[in-house]
Amino acid sequence: MGPVETLGLLVVGHFVADYPLQGEFLAKAKSRSCGLPGVPWYQALIAHAAIHGGAVGIVTGSVSLGIAEFLVHAVIDDRKCMGRITFDQDQALHLGCKAAWVALLAAFGPLP
């Protein structure tokens, strides 16, 4: 699969993971500032970021990029939930990460 196809699948994976697979429960529960009573925010954020990391790992075949996505996605979403970045900035950063993963694959070939 070439870089254009990989980027396309990563973007589709992002939108599937960020909209239908997130749902109202995770969208609210992952916020440390206004989460759901009785639900540890960090568990919800970890679950949401893991979905994204899994999608990246599946599309790229790279556990390393899946872990990188997991970590970066969690930080970006936490910043958004805390009001430090806007929704548009959040989405731009997520999509920028997908471009970065493709660039890393193009530069270094398959990553472990």
pLDDT above 90: residue 94: yes
The amino acid occupying position 59 is: V
Q: What does the pLDDT read at residue 35?
A: 87
d(CA 82, CA 35): 11
Distance CA 41, CA 6 (A): 32
pLDDT, tens only, 30-58 = 999 988 999 999 999 999 999 999 999 99
Q: Could you give the dihedral angle defined by the CA atoms of residues 81, 99, 51 and 72, in that order, rounded to the nearest 10 degrees? A: -50
Distance CA 50, CA 3 (A): 23
**One-letter identity of residue 80:** K
